[in-house]
Chains A and B, each alone.
Chain A
Amino acid sequence: MDIAPTNAPAQNSYLLEAKGISKAFPGVVALDDVSFTLRPGEVHILLGENGAGKSTLMKVIAGAYTPDAGEIFLDGTPVKINTPWKAQALGIGIIYQEFNLIPYLSVAQNIFLNKMPKNNLFFLDHAKMEKEARVLLESLGMFVNPKLNAEELSTAQQQMVEIGKALKYQSKILIMDEPTASLTDLEINQLFGIIRELKKRGIGIVYISHRLQEINEIGDRVTILRDGKHIATGNVKDFSINELVRLMVGREVQDLYEHNPATPGEEVLSVKDLSSKTNGLTDINMHLRKGEIVGLAGLVGSGRTELARVIFQLDKHESGEIYYFGKPLPNLSPKSAVNNGLGMLPEDRKRQGLALILSVAENTVMASLRNLFPSHIIKSKDECKAVDRYIQDLHIKTPGRNRSVQYLSGGNQQKVVLAKWLCTNSEILIFDEPTRGIDVGSKSEIHAFMNDFVNRGGSILMISSELSEIIGMSDRVYVMRQGKIVSEISREEATQEKIMSYAFGASGA
């Protein structure tokens, strides 16, 4: 049952209005008669599953795509936005999820990339560029040294540069695609502060996010798309999270972040007094038991991924021991970790988890070559049987097993990574940000899978920056800070505040 759009105020108070936008690509209709409005000084959240059309709509507005049908009005005047540059000139700025900064150019040069100030001769005026960059950033409440090269900045700082870059032409409209995806909670708060500043200046912000809990905090209105169609628009406070999810997915989604506590068995993995200089880890002591999901929380840079890499034998450690099922193993290679039943789903699935050009089948069997094909000869019958089973069990949406994985959506790509590890019959899985940037439907499928996995005797170590995911899914939580484990919290005691205070090292914690 759809909720009818709320009554819109008079047309001319809209900063941006898109009417009847349609866009199709070969084989798929991305947008079907979609309308969207943005008021000055509002944060308008755009929600929808992957493939719902959010990115396409935003790219149309930002000039990266031209629509097949529909019109766009800015302050009531119809405009044609043919190129990204035209969009910028019209005052529309967009920040994509993957930042678009140039690593070896300075902050100032990045901001003014398409219009670098020159002196009277012909050459660039670096001093002027840096000054203007500084002024621009400070006026938005951000402080970054304009001389630094972009590759020297942290993720949050890069984002600030992106915002400065997007708003340099006194833009009135800012589109942000998953802005909080790689930020720590502290950095997210900073970002929200900046957003509130921007709102005060009358800038309208379109905010795409998969993080439902952020919506209440920062959003004013929300629009839901599904399968390229407009489903609903309204004030954020008029929707409950369940309603939003239902509208996005079109069905009831249960078990969002729900996990039944386990009765843990013997220790399958234990780490004793581990230190690694290269990875910045000191005196790590932790363990994982059979049937458990253990969460690993902490700020970005606290060493969680580094610890996972050491456990998985990707990186070396100088002192301490790692025991798999009670047996100690010396420093070896990921191969020995895999042989001992370990699997790891890395943080960056595109760059580390998959070989994008290769097919679903090839990626799935990649880690199990010795087991599946002991004679080293690949018999296609065996390969197909193994692969098809996982495609089915995990509901991987793909036209076929030979489809190159680069064409799959984020959620399905993650499922292929999962399939790869299931194929190795791993008993211990390390998930590093398992559901980052994935649509709600796939997210709950992956969580359901995780529950199923541990119920059947597997064990999971889960790194996540989403506190609700940590709290909802874990039996126990370790909190890391600056390369050390500072706390172990049981499921009953875990709260957002408690975890955050350990992560920050606040007094009394």
Chain B
Amino acid sequence: MKNALLASSNKNRLRQLLDDVPPVIWIILLLMVTFTFLSKNYLSMSNLTNIAQQGAVLLLVAAAQTFVILSGGLDLSLGSVLTLSGITTAIALNAGIPIPIAILIGLITGAACGGITGLLIAYANIQPFIASLGIQGIFYGFALALTKTTAIFITNRDFAVMGSKINGIPMAAIISGILYLVLIKVSTDTQFGRYVIAIGGNESGTRLSGIDTTKYKWLVYVFAGFVTALGGVLLASRLEVADPIVGVGWEFDAIAATILGGTTFTMGKGSVSKTIIGVLLISVIRNGLNVIGVPSIWQPALTGTLLIASIVFQIWFSLRKEARQ
């Protein structure tokens, strides 16, 4: 009798454990196991660090998008901001400007772009979807114009250090990881971070408490632009090239990663800390399909299918969890 009770309580505890683990982790594990089977090279150190490196930049852009989505908004221009900030940094470097200042220029570019987007959304009250959609065309236009539509090669070799590997560990991943931890802290332990959730959860209530919600909404976009620019600089360093079309579609990847991390468009629900899971999944899929030798023609189709299947799984799982409570 006692054993039966014990057994059932263990079962419950196991179930509870399963519940708390984000569902996407199972998919990642499943995929990694599959890929290991299909390719000897998969679990090698060099490949794993590859995954980390590929996800490094996306992690920053996705985290930026998470902040925006938590505040109740959306930013479809982040891809163009990524591009543009890398381009301004590259131009500055090639003009002989010292690295730290060039980086600063790139960051300011990102923040300024976010500032413009934020003006349209927070102050002019245009819907985020359409405002950011419209503005990204303008940002891309600038990107194309500045580069005269071709890629810019960065001549400053020292700059590439951020994209290199130290003892086999990619610098980009380390830098991105540290920045990500800082972002998590900003989200939970700063007034700004809490206001992001407040505005997303109940904007009018927040305003009635005397907080200038319009200003903070604007700031979220500035912040997102800034963080994306960090990614842009990192990417330029790794590729040693600033290419105007490189950012296309990143904003959607960022949204997918945010959702896979459990943040939804139900405002204010979710967290920045889980977004890394979504980024990990996307990186694992991309890297894995490559490593096992899927012809490049098939890769976009399979990536898309796998991603949508993952999102379906994630949502089905969380719906079941809610129903059980």
Contacts and interface: CB of A to CB of B under 8 A. Distances in A.
Q: Do any CB atoms of chain A lie under 8 A from CB atoms of chain B in the complex?
A: yes
Interface of A: 64, 83-85, 88, 96, 99-105, 109, 113-114, 116, 118, 122-124, 126, 165, 278
A364 B269 CA distance: 35
Interface in B123-165: none
Nearest to A94: B208
Contact of A100 (B191, B208, B323): B208
Interface in B192-217: 194, 197-198, 201-202, 204-211
A116 B191 contact: yes
A85 B210 contact: yes
Contacts of B211: 113-114
19 contacts: A84-B208, A84-B210, A85-B210, A100-B204, A100-B205, A101-B202, A101-B205, A102-B202, A102-B205, A102-B268, A103-B201, A104-B269, A105-B198, A113-B198, A113-B209, A116-B194, A123-B185, A123-B189, A126-B189
Contacts of B16: none
B211 to A, nearest CB: 5
A97 to B, nearest CB: 12
Contacts, number: 63
A330 to B, nearest CB: 22
A455 to B, nearest CB: 43
Contacts of A113: 198, 206, 209, 211
Given A102-B206, A102-B268, A124 B190 contact: yes
Q: Is the interface of B mostly helix, strand, loop or mixed?
A: helix
Nearest to A165: B209
Given A85-B210, A88-B210, A114-B210, A100 B202 contact: yes
A123 B190 contact: yes
B206 A104 contact: no
Closest 3 CB pairs of A and B: A85-B210, A100-B205, A123-B189
Given A102-B198, A124-B194, 20 more contacts: A64-B208, A83-B210, A84-B207, A84-B208, A84-B210, A88-B210, A100-B208, A102-B202, A102-B205, A102-B268, A103-B202, A104-B269, A105-B201, A109-B198, A113-B209, A114-B211, A116-B191, A123-B189, A123-B190, A124-B189
B191 A124 contact: yes
Contacts of B207: 84
A443 B206 CA distance: 33
A109 B196 CA distance: 13
Given A123-B189, A124-B190, A104 B209 contact: no
Contacts of B323: 278
Nearest to A118: B191
Nearest to B193: A124
A104 B208 contact: no
B200 to A, nearest CB: 8
B263 to A, nearest CB: 11
A109 B190 CA distance: 11
Contacts of B185: 123
A410 B46 CA distance: 66
A423 B190 CA distance: 54
Contact of A114 (B190, B201, B209): B209
A167 B321 CA distance: 38
B180 to A, nearest CB: 17
Contacts of A102: 197-198, 201-202, 205-206, 268
Interface in B71-92: none
A318 to B, nearest CB: 15
A100 B201 contact: no
Nearest to B194: A109
Nearest to B202: A102
A88 B268 CA distance: 25
Nearest to A111: B209
A109 B197 CA distance: 11
Nearest to B207: A84
Contacts of A116: 191, 194
Contacts of B268: 102-105
A378 B289 CA distance: 54
A137 to B, nearest CB: 17
Nearest to B191: A116
Contacts of B194: 105, 109, 116, 124
Contacts of A278: 323
B319 to A, nearest CB: 13
B112 to A, nearest CB: 24
Contacts of A64: 208
Q: Which of B190, B205, B207, B323 has the most CB of A within 10 A?
A: B205
B201 to A, nearest CB: 4
Q: Which of B206, B210, B211, B269 has the most CB of A within 10 A?
A: B210
Nearest to B323: A278
Interface in B273-325: 323
Contacts of A84: 207-210
Nearest to A126: B189
Contacts of A104: 197, 201, 268-269
Contacts of B197: 102, 104-105
Interface in B252-282: 268-269
A306 B220 CA distance: 40
A114 B194 CA distance: 11
A228 B323 CA distance: 48
A101 B191 CA distance: 16
Contacts of B205: 99-102
A123 B182 CA distance: 12
Nearest to B70: A104
Nearest to B271: A104
A183 B190 CA distance: 35
A456 B63 CA distance: 62
Contacts of B269: 103-104
Q: Which of A101, A104, A114, A165 has the most CB of B within 10 A?
A: A104
Contacts of A96: 208
Interface string B172-193: 0000000000000100011100
A116 B190 CA distance: 9
Contacts of A100: 202, 204-206, 208-209
B256 to A, nearest CB: 22
Contacts of B209: 84-85, 88, 100, 113-114, 165
Contacts of A101: 202, 205
Given A102-B197, A114-B209, A122 B190 contact: yes
A35 B173 CA distance: 66
